Structure 1
Amino acid sequence: MKIKATIATASLLSLLTFGASAAQLVTAEQAQNMQPAGTVTISGTAGAPMDYRAQLSQKADEQGASAYKVIEARTGDNYHITAELYK
Structure 2
Amino acid sequence: MKNKLTLSMISLAAVLSFGANAASLVTQEQADSQNMQSMGTVSISGIDGVPTDIRQQLSQKAEEQGASSYRVIEARNEDNYHITAELYK
Q: TM-score range by the shorter chain?
A: 0.7 to 0.9
Structure 1 stretches of 4+ moved >6 Å = none
Root mean square deviation, CA, Å: 1.7
Pairs aligned (count) = 84
% same residue:
61
1:38 pairs with 2:43: no
Give the SS at the match of 1:21. Answer: coil
The match for 2:27 is: 27
Change (3 A) 1:16 1:74: farther
Structure 2 portions without partners, runs of 5+: none
Q: Which residue among 13, 35, 58 is the counterpart of 2:11? A: 13
C-alpha distance in 2, partners of 1:7/1:34?
A: 24
CA separation of 1:6 and 1:40: change in aligned 2, threshold 3 A: closer
| TM-score (normalizing by structure 1) | 0.84
In 1, the alpha carbon distance for the partners of 2:55 and 2:62 equals 10
Distance 2:73 2:15 in 1: 14
Stretches of structure 1 that go unaligned for 5 or more consecutive residues are none
2:56 maps to 54
2:79 maps to: 77
Conservation of the 8 A alpha-carbon contact between 1:44 and 1:78: yes
Say if 1:17 and 1:25, in contact at 8 Å, map to a contact too. Answer: no
Counterpart-to-counterpart distance in 2, 1:71 and 1:6: 10
